[in-house]
């Protein structure tokens, strides 16, 4: 199972950067929704679909973590790894 790590939280711009395995997913707050803005794989030199695969279950968990951070009213100065959401 791939591990989900919160890399960067930018409350001013409403963005959260999440690392799932080798992939970096960036989510953005749009009104009452959370959208996937970008998905990159810094380790891949060529496009390899198998290397970039993220299961739908893991993707949903990453989206929920990003949404919980973006829609929380608390402003936290703690490091992202200290945030416990699930």
Terminal-residue alpha carbon distance, the chain = 16
Every domain of the chain and the residues it spans: 4-73
The single-letter DSSP state of residue 32 is T
- Residue 30 reports pLDDT greater than 50: yes
Q: What is the pLDDT of residue 13?
A: 87
Q: What digits encode the pLDDT tens for the residues 32-86?
A: 899 999 888 776 666 666 666 778 898 899 999 999 999 886 555 454 554 444 4
Positive or negative, the CA dihedral 68, 74, 80, 84 is negative
Long-range contacts at 50-53 (CB < 8 A, ≥ 24 apart): 51/22, 52/22, 52/23
pTM confidence score: 0.71
């Amino acid at each position: 199972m791939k591990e989900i790590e919160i890399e960067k939280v930018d409350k001013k711009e409403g963005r959260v950067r999440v690392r799932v395995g080798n992939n970096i997913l960036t989510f953005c707050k749009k009104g009452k929704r959370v959208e996937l803005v970008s998905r990159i794989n810094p380790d891949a030199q060529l496009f390899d679909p198998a290397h970039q695969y993220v299961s739908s279950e893991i993707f949903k968990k990453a989206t929920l973590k990003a949404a919980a951070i973006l829609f929380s009213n608390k402003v936290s100065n703690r490091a992202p790894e200290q945030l416990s959401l699930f």
